[in-house]
Structures are given as C-alpha cells and as structure tokens.
Structure 1
Amino acid sequence: MTDEWTAGVVTDAGGGDLPTVEDWRPVPVPRYPAAFVDADGPIAYRTTFADPRVDAAERAVLEIGGTDGPAEVWLNGSRLGASDVGFVPARFEFEPRPENELLVVCERPDAFAGIRGTDEVPDRLAVPGIRRGVAVESRPRTFLREFDVRPRLGPASESDGETDGDAPSAANATADGAGAAIDVTLEVDAGAAVDDAVTLSLRPEGFRGGAAMERVPVQAEAGERTTVSRTLSVREPSLWWPREYGPQDRYTVRAKLEGDTLERTVGLRHVERDGDGLLVNGRRVRARGFTRLPGGDPRADVDRAVDANATLLRARGHVPPRSFYEACDEAGLLVWQDLPACGSDLPIDRGIELTTALAETYGRYPSLAMYGVQDRPTDPYAEPVGKGLLARFAVRYRAWRTSVDREPADAVAERLPDDLPIVPVAGPPGTDADAAHLFPGWRYLAAADTDWLLETYPSLGEVVGRFGAGSLAADDADPATVPGLEPALLADGADVEGSQREQARILKTVAETLRRRDCGVLAASTLRDPAPGGGMGVYAADGEPKRAAEAIAQSYEPVQAALDGPPTPGTVGITLCNDRNEALETTVGWRAGDETAVTTVDVGPLETTSAGTARIPADAERVVLEVAVDDRTVRNRYYL
C-alpha cells in the first residue's frame, strides 16, 4: 500500500453517508499526528491504492492493524465496516477497482482510553489514529480466513525453587508428565466448492526437536465458510523460559490449503503466582523490570530493557502492537499486560468485552505472563508528602482514610482466563491494591524510608507495579510542560545533571530495598520518557540513557551485592541477592576510600544472605561492591 496519507477533522459524520472533511493535510501512518492535538471530533485518514490482485479470480482483503478506539472504514464512497476494539486487527474483503480510495474514520474511545487519557503522556498520543498500519493483499479464491493456535501445557508441578542448575525438562513442568499439545482452529472461506485437506505442520524454531504433520479434511460448498479444528501433540516438548532461566524455544505451526499458506509461532510455558511471586514451568523466577508507555519503537524498547538486566515489562494502561510481543518472546521478557483502564471509571460490560478480546488476540504469545485490570483507581498522594517523622504519620493517615470500590475491577478480572495470574487493582498504599505503586523519595518520605514503609505494610512488597522518580533530559526543558513530570517534586534549582543524579539514587535505593526483601515482581516507572524534555523514564524519549539507566542496570544484575542502607560514613551492612536458580559460593568485596575487604559468601538459589559490612571512611567519595560471578566481576557503585 502507498505511504501517502492525508487526514482531517470530520465536520459532518454524514448520517450514513460518506463523512465530510473540509481540510486535508499530509500525515504519516502509523504515527501520532500532532497537527490534530486540539481537534474536537473524529479524524479521517485517506489514501489510495491499486487493485492488489494479479488474477481477477483472486480475492482482495484489507486489514486495519489497530486503532485506539472505534473506527469506521469506507472504500470508494461506501461503508465497508467498522472496528469496535482498536487493538484487534479488523479484516474486510472487498471488490477492488483499478484505483481505490480508502477512508478510515477514527474516534476517541468513550471509555478505556487508558494511559492516553491521563496527563502522564503527551496529548498527541491521544489523537485518534491508525496505530499499527494498513495492509491490502490478494488471497486465493479459497483461502484461510482465520488461523488460531493455542498451546496447551499441563499445570506446573509443585516446586520449592531448588534445582541443580539445569533447565528443567518439560516432563517436570506438567502435572502428569503427559507432554503438551497445540489446539488449531481454522476458518476456511470457500470461493469455490472444496473437497480437500488442510496440511498442518509443526516445526521447532532454532532448536532440535520433534516435528509433526497432519492432514485435516475440508469440505465446503461455494460461498460457504467452514471451521475445522485439530489438536497437534508435541512429543518431548521443549519449553519457553524467561531470560536467565532457560532457552526461549518456540514452535511454528503452518497451515496450507491449495495455494494459501499461513503461519503462527507459539511457545509452551505455564505461569502461576503464589505469595512469593511467579513460577514459570513450575520453577520460581524473579521478575524485575519496568513499566512501558505507548510511543516509540517497541523492539528498541525491548532491547533497552534487556540492556538494563530486566526480565519483565509492564504494558501500563495500553495495549502494544504484536511486534512488541514478538520481540519479548525472542528476548525472553515476561509481559504484564494491562487493560487500557486508568483512574476510577471502569464500565464492567465494556471491560469484560475488552478482556475477552485481549486474551483471544495475545493469548498465544509465551511472554504474556500476567494480566492487569485497573490502574490507580485513586491517588491519596496526589498532594505530595514531605520527609521525616511527621511525614510518616501523614502517609499512614492518608492510607487509612482512603477507600476504593473494588467491585468493578474484580468483576472484570473474573472474566479473564484463569491460566495466568491476574492483578485486578494496581495503586498506591491505601487503595487495597493487588500490586503496589511505591514512590518514597519522590512523592513522599525519603528513598531510605522504603524499609519502614514495607515493615509497616508488608503486603506492599509482594508485587510492585511502579516505583521511581523523574528527571530532566534537556537543558532548555520547561518542567511545567513535560508530561508526567511534576516540577514541584524536583529539587530547587534542579538541572539535568542534578535531577538525573537524584533520580538514579532514588531508583537504586528502592530497587535494592525491594530485592533485599525478596520482592517477587517489581517494575520501575518507567523505561523511557514519552516526550522530549524529561519524565519518569530511565531513558530519554530519543532512547538516550539517563544516569538512572546504568544505576538500575547495576541494581538489576541477577547476582548482586547491595548496601543495606545509605552510603554514608560509618558501618553499613551488605546483602548478596541471588536471582538464579542455583546455589552460589562466591567472594564479595568492597572498597571505600583507602578501606577495602573481601569475604567468602554462600547463598542459596533465589535467596539473599548477609555478606558482612562495609566501613565507609569520612573522606570516601564512593563505595564499590564487587561480586565474582562465573568468569566476570559484577560491580555496584554508590556515590557519597
């Protein structure tokens, strides 16, 4: 399809006729057209394309990859159809002309705008638009209209998390050792009578394993659509694992009928949650990572998360494109997927509709590990709290007086598939949340008060959906205009260097406190700024790392030594954190000024243990901790 698009504000919806646009402007698709930020009403996108068919007997199919809200599709002046769930691709068959004019009318969602409906992202991300491209293709007279594959693995066996270090076999990850299967459903659109068979083949991707092939009979009259199903058994299945815990083995299922072929790639894995965090394929894993906001290149964001030693990305308040999931599958990143539901408004019926669509659209991706329903139903700390003893009283009082109606979130959560962990509510202390948003050092208290906060409210440390601080990314940035950045929370006279140094210190302190206290799931907020100038990201909007990127990458090392308190002169404890599934005997050393020491430490799999103390002299400028891991030295740096 051509890359030449124009767009304009709809001035007359048409009442069943072609909508009217008075002023057309060139725009890129898929992008966020800033020219329509202040537009009041639907936005129409227009392009032209040639007949995609080579043979007149073939059939033409149009796919709208995704929008943020409802969309209406017009072709050559006639209404072709509509899409009500923006993140689900909409497909339409049509009779093409030699030259065709396509019109896609996009509206803002009435509900479930998600993070795009807040001031945490720039206004341009809320402009109604085509987010995931448009494709026009030629298909055979008889073709595969729908192709759905669902991997099925038995429930994970009970495990205490101990292992000899080898990736466990698939037999150990199923309840009865019966292996695995892939359920395949095909919808055949018969342009002519068909009495044939669909050839289904299964092959491993990138590893040696069992393949399979079957033929499924298909019979249909001309003009008829028929659905066929088959279950493919996977002999000696190889599982998909999060990075650091095993390989990302996947399988490709291929369907072929006459001249039409489709493929889907899936992975076999089982995810569950208990009071200590996540178990994948029956084995304990530590999920540490970031929230991600819309905008930017999804694959580049996945690379940034891997560089920062993450094992988890939370798609907060939005549904990313399929390319995001494909990249996470390849990289071994777990995905915590939210509904686009931020704030107190949560219409139950529409929420159930979206949860069903979400599970059907993304359920086959092995990286999908958790669902989230409602993000921040209310915020008792919208007005920041200071530091010190009185601030602790203020935090407890605000948490005590806050109440949230959980019924809508719980009702929607009940309709999600029960094969994955579900987080009905994520929010600040006091919101009765299933996942906590913690902002000591930024919105309230000091970063070093995180220990006190978790001792006061132990449940807050089980699953943490957000923590962090903001910073500037450009010298000429006006903090008052940066989305998601509250100028009042920056230190007086803060500049780029100072704000980034403070952000790095806060993130490092909170992340390491959570790891020392065995938090099973934690996500820093956020991976990348959604707009230039600054924000809560550890990377700037253009992808350049801030100081916090290196700091949190050190804190997120799978095996890392961390200080038990602020790096100030005196004696400070050291804790060794081991996120690996094997026990480790190693040496931990520290250096501060002219002082240095080394000790030998034994730590169990997925455990923490004391590694002695560091004696920090008054004239020290920094403290460096070192851990010998395999054939390298892992360092953790603190600046006084």
Structure 2
Amino acid sequence: MTEEWTGGIVTDRGDDGPPTVAEWEPVLVPGRPPSFAGAGPIAYRTRFPDPRDDETERAMLELRGAYDRAEIWLNGTRLATHEPHFVPASLEFDPRPANELIVVCERPESFAGIYGTDAVPDRLGTPGIWWGLEVESRPRTLLRQFEARPRLGAARDASASAEAAATGVTNATADGGGAAIDISFAVDTDVTIDDAVTLSLRPEGFRGGASMERIPIESEAGERTTVSRTLSIREPSLWWPRGYGPQHRYTVRAKLGGDAVERTVGLRHVERDDDGLLVNGRHVRARGFTRLPGGDPREDVRRAVDANATLLRARAHVPRQLFYEACDEAGVLVWQDLPASGAELPVDRGTELASALVETHGHHPSLAMVGVQDQPTDPYESPLGSGFLAKLAVRYRAWRTAVDHGSATDIAAALPDELPVVPVTGPPGTDPDAAHLFPGWQYLEAADIDWLCETYPELGEIVGGFGAGSLADGDADPTAVPGLEPALLERGATDVEGSQREQARTLKTVAEALRRRGCGVVAASTLRDSAPGGGMGIHTVDGDPKRAAEAIAQSYEPVQAVLDRPPAPGTIGITLCNDTHEALETIVGWRAGDRTDTERVSVGPLETTSAGSARIPPEADRVDLEIAVGNQTVRNGYRI
C-alpha cells in the first residue's frame, strides 16, 4: 500500500471498539519506527478507498510480518487477530467507499527469540508491520490456501549413497524412483460454477518435466471446495547446494478463470549422520554464518556467497520469504531456528510455532535443518583468560552447568522426520546438540579450539557459532553496541584497526581448525553487525566488509591449504582440505620471508590430508600458501 500511515502507543485496548492512542504520528510502513523502540502495543492506522473496480469482485487484505500478534480493525470493527508474524494473513472484507484500517501489533508473551536478547538493538524488536500489507481486488471465484509439497522417493541407504558417490548420479532418487509434488488448494466462490482448474508444472531454467492437466470443479454459491492432487515426475532434476550441483526448481501454477496462484519448489532430500549433512544421499560440507535480523536478506545471501558460504543459520528468529527465495536461488542451505533463546520454553506454544514454521517455509529446498532452543544459558558470560588455569576454569564451569533438554526434545519430536532437527544449541556445559565455541573471545586463545574439541569431542560435530567481535567506528562507545561485550573486547584490542585484526585472526584460526578436524556443519558468528558501531559481524550493519570478511572467505574456499596452527617462526604443518566430491591431485606451495617450497599432494573427496610443512624464518612477517585447482590458483595468507 502506498497510502500514508500514522502510528502511536496504545493507552487503552478497549473491549468492543478500536484501541485508544494518546498521540498519532507519521510512520513508514513497512518498517520498525525507532520512536516506538521498547514500547508496545503499537497501533498503525491508514485510510484507503474501495480497491474493487466492480462491486461483484471481492476485496482481500494480505498482511505480512505483523510482529508478533496482530489485531486488525476495519471501520471500527475487529476483522481478525493473527499470529505468528512469519505466517502471512489473507483476509476477505466488505469495503466501503472510504475505509479506515488499524493494525495493533504487540510483542509475544514467550518465544521472543533473538529479539529478547542483547544481541540486537531494541528497535529491531519493535512491534510493527515489518514486511508489508496489501489491499487488492480478487475475482468472485478465487483460489486460496494453495500448497505445493515436494517429495522424493525413499531415502538413500548406505549402499545407494556409496553408489551415487562413485557414479556421480545427480538426477534421480536413491531407489531409482521418481518424485512427486503434492498439491492442495481451495476454490472459494460466491456464485455457482461448473468449470475446471488448469494445473501446470514447469521447470525453471532447464528442460524436462513439464506437465498440465485440467481438474473439473462444480460448486454452489457460498461453498468452498478443497482439491488435492499429486503431480508425478518420473525423472526429477534435483536441487543441490552451491558447489555440489545445479539449483533446479519447478513452478506449480493453478488457474481458474481470471484467478491464478503459483509456488516454486525444489526437489531434494536432507538427512544427518555423524559426519554432517547428506543432501540427496551424498555428504556435503556446510560452511557459513549465523545471520541476525535487519537489512536486505538478498544482500546478506550475496555476502555469504562472496565468502564461499554454503550455509546460513537464521539464529533465533524467522526471516521473511525473500531470504528463503534468495537462498533457493543461490544454493545456500538454511539452518532455521525457532524464535527461542534462553531457558524459557513452553512446549505447547513451541510445538505450534514449529508446525507453523514448516507449513510456511517447508517447500523451500534450501531449508536443511531446524533448531529449537538457542543459548539456554551461558556459563561464560564473565570472561576467562588463557593458560592452564583458564582451561581448568573452562572445565569447571562446564561441569557445574546443567540444562534440562526435556522441553526442546518434546518440541523437536513434533517436527517432520524428513528434516534434521537440532534441539539445543549452546556453549560447553549445556550438553548441546550443536555447539557455540568462542575461544579467543570469551575464554582461552583461539588456537585452544583444538584442546576444546579434544576435551569434548562431541562439541566439534556441529558448530552453530564461533568468532569474535570488533569495532566499526572509532567514535563508538563499546558499552552501547548490542552484542559487543566491552570486557571481551579488551582481551584483544579496543581500537577499530586492532579489534578487526584480532577478529580476523580468531575467526580464521577457529574456522580452519574445525575444517582440519572434519566438522560437517560450521556457522561463524556472525555475517553482519546488528547495529552501528560494531559487533560480531564480518560486515558492518551497512554491509561494508571488515578485515574478517576476506580472511574467512579464504578459510571457506572449497579446496584450501591451511596451517595447522597460528603462524610463528619454526616448522608448522600444512593440511589440504577438500570439500568437493572430486578426488584431487595438486601442488601445494608456501612462502615465508625468503623461503619457499612445494609438495605434490593427493586428497580424496570430502577429505583432508597432510601437505608437508612450512619452515618459517624469524624475520618473516607473513606466510602465504598457494594451490592449483583446475585453471584457478587458490591462495591463503597469514600475518605473523
């Protein structure tokens, strides 16, 4: 809608009438008005004309992203209430020539997720219409509740996976069968009809698999007819993460008279074992970042791709549809959390949200994992130093910490079996299913990541967060930057250049150690700062790259040579990491000061191998590694 909006803090909810607002002020919708940060509930008001060209048409309102519980009033009458915000609301109404719309938005009583933490500024959790509201005219007979759910044949067994890995088959399901898309929709009419819905399937950007059929529809005025169909695809073209195959997708379209709806889906199967994720029966390495709310989701996906990421974790919040569409197109896997951060976890509400999440975003091929509970507690809120005593303190804090997994496990059990689920993501001591690991930031040195994973081997299987913070503005007050703890910043450097240098070093050290150790799923914290001044991001809140952006992009190269520990004078081992499905034979070279050397190395698919050693002289100020991959030269650099 392009109409003008006003907003205000609600002073009286009323009983049978619209809410009372003390003072209305101009606001932008969609958006998060900064003047309402920390307040609620908030009312938003606009006026609009009858959207219909013909009185026989039907008026519809679609509301997207009304955080988190919305109460919709039209012309003084309550039209509906709606929650949660990530599920679109589609409402029919009887318009007048001139209409007044009021939408009251309020924070959730539970499951605030990341918005209830100090990781993001209060303004990002401001109740409001975040994503959009549209008023439109629709035909008298229209299609509603359109769903398209793709499914492949049976999941691959071990022998089928091995055969696929050996043959490189990427265009069929494991058992040799095809695929199907289950379609359902409702025909809603206020006139008697005897017609047919045209249902079509077309591939997006590739050949094969198109189909069309007509479904007869007979319905009396005022009836709603529900239709279910299954579209079979004999030789499906699958969707793959970037670097492992094409991102094939299909668009399903239903048309009846002057009304049409469509949805784009991808065919893929995701499962998890001890080595990480399997997509379409083949192991893939998921490397990427956590993502916080705010900013353009398409630009964030582009930044992740530029950093060689194959994974984005939507940490403790649910992003808008544009985020998923961008990940589908780019081949980026999504680790989607419920909006659950902290100890409070009501099971009934969590189960409702989990069902709504899968119902809304389950058709996206990029959806690869679902997380339930983020950071139930943090035994490392107060920083620890480094050295032997600090290691004892880390172990003691982990030992004395206890977290009840019961609620998270119950919610996880309600999610569909076809999606891998991570019940709890948290630091050492919380017995996490995925770990937050912050050596070099909250405790110890970055290089102690090896000690941490050797002491607690289960922590290195899935990592949902690691890294360090930095400043982005020399005038920023670290105490006022969300997600940036000044006491932790002081462990490294407190100026912009120094803090960004330490952040880059920490991220590089931990990321490469996790690669050397074969960690299957890795997400660094975080892609972009949530506020001006700094944060945990490798980009500023405006998207400008920090020093860490280039550093971790090198570390995430699909084929990369890495040092076995931070560079220093002496002899240091080199490991060649191969995240691809191809066996490689290449030459690894290194340079430190005036010394250089090379070694021919062979490495198998999804494997690591020793690539010799670098002998670093005392006068060297950096170490450079280089490998040839096809017609490309891949470099990795370290400052001493």
Q: Aligned partners of 1:514 and 1:155: how far apart in 2?
A: 32
Higher mean displacement: 59-68 or 574-583: 59-68
Q: Aligned partners of 1:560 and 1:597: how far apart in 2?
A: 17
CA offset at residue 165 of structure 1? 8.5
CA offset at residue 234 of structure 1? 1.0
CA offset at residue 102 of structure 1? 1.1
The answer to whether the aligner puts 1:99 opposite 2:104 as a matched pair is: no
Alignment deviations for residues 180-229 of structure 1 (CA, whole Å, 9 cap, x no partner)? 00000011101211222211000000001121111122222101111010
Q: Aligned partners of 2:618 and 2:32: how far apart in 1?
A: 53
Return the TM-score normalized by structure 1.
0.98
Partner of 1:360: 359
Instruction: Give aligned-pair identity as a percent.
Output: 71
Alignment deviations for residues 261-292 of structure 1 (CA, whole Å, 9 cap, x no partner)? 11100000000000000000001100000000
Q: Aligned partners of 1:4 and 1:201: how far apart in 2?
A: 39
Partner of 1:618: 618
Partner of 1:234: 233
Partner of 1:170: 171
CA offset at residue 162 of structure 1? 7.8
CA separation of 1:162 and 1:487: change in aligned 2, threshold 3 A: farther
Partner of 2:524: 524
Q: Aligned partners of 1:166 and 1:559: how far apart in 2?
A: 21
Partner of 1:4: 4
Secondary structure, counterpart of 1:66 in structure 2? strand
Are the aligned partners of 2:3 and 2:47 in contact in 1 as well (CA < 8 Å)?
A: no
Partner of 1:578: 578
CA offset at residue 155 of structure 1? 3.1
The one-letter amino acid of 1:477's match is: A
Partner of 1:602: 602
Q: Aligned partners of 1:507 and 1:158: how far apart in 2?
A: 36
Secondary structure, counterpart of 1:239 in structure 2? coil
Partner of 1:562: 562
Q: Aligned partners of 1:12 and 1:60: how far apart in 2?
A: 30
CA offset at residue 51 of structure 1? 1.6
Secondary structure, counterpart of 1:74 in structure 2? strand
Q: Aligned partners of 1:343 and 1:155: how far apart in 2?
A: 37
Q: Aligned partners of 2:583 and 2:35: how far apart in 1?
A: 57
Are the aligned partners of 2:375 and 2:425 in contact in 1 as well (CA < 8 Å)?
A: yes
Q: Aligned partners of 1:300 and 1:267: how far apart in 2?
A: 22
CA offset at residue 157 of structure 1? 1.8
Q: Aligned partners of 2:558 and 2:116: how far apart in 1?
A: 36
Partner of 1:370: 369
Structure 1, unmatched stretches of 5+, are none
Partner of 1:283: 282
CA offset at residue 99 of structure 1? 2.1
Are the aligned partners of 1:141 and 1:191 in contact in 2 as well (CA < 8 Å)?
A: yes
CA separation of 1:56 and 1:405: change in aligned 2, threshold 3 A: same
Secondary structure, counterpart of 2:246 in structure 1? coil
CA offset at residue 161 of structure 1? 6.1
Secondary structure, counterpart of 1:97 in structure 2? coil
Alignment deviations for residues 463-496 of structure 1 (CA, whole Å, 9 cap, x no partner)? 0000000000011110000000001111366210
Q: Aligned partners of 1:241 and 1:166: how far apart in 2?
A: 16
Alignment deviations for residues 371-403 of structure 1 (CA, whole Å, 9 cap, x no partner)? 000001111111111100001111111111111
1:212-291 mapped onto 2 (5 Å cutoff): 212-291=211-290
Q: Aligned partners of 1:162 and 1:32: how far apart in 2?
A: 52
CA separation of 1:147 and 1:592: change in aligned 2, threshold 3 A: same
The one-letter amino acid of 2:434's match is: A
Partner of 1:137: 136
Q: Aligned partners of 1:513 and 1:10: how far apart in 2?
A: 52
CA separation of 1:3 and 1:292: change in aligned 2, threshold 3 A: farther
Aligned residues: 637
Secondary structure, counterpart of 2:443 in structure 1? coil
Alignment deviations for residues 215-256 of structure 1 (CA, whole Å, 9 cap, x no partner)? 122222101111010000112110000000000000000101
The one-letter amino acid of 1:639's match is: R
Partner of 2:443: 444
1:104-183 mapped onto 2 (5 Å cutoff): 104-158=103-157, 168-171=169-172, 173-174=173-174, 176-183=175-182
Structure 2, unmatched stretches of 5+, are none
Q: Aligned partners of 2:165 and 2:238: how far apart in 1?
A: 18
Are the aligned partners of 1:161 and 1:284 in contact in 2 as well (CA < 8 Å)?
A: no
CA offset at residue 3 of structure 1? 4.5
The answer to whether the aligner puts 1:27 opposite 2:34 as a matched pair is: no
Q: Aligned partners of 2:166 and 2:558: how far apart in 1?
A: 14
Are the aligned partners of 2:164 and 2:281 in contact in 1 as well (CA < 8 Å)?
A: no
The one-letter amino acid of 2:485's match is: E
Partner of 1:402: 401
Are the aligned partners of 1:10 and 1:21 in contact in 2 as well (CA < 8 Å)?
A: yes
Q: Aligned partners of 1:164 and 1:598: how far apart in 2?
A: 30
Return the TM-score normalized by structure 2.
0.98
1:32-111 mapped onto 2 (5 Å cutoff): 32-39=32-39, 41-111=40-110
The one-letter amino acid of 1:43's match is: I
Structure 1 segments (4+ residues) deviating >2 Å: 158-171
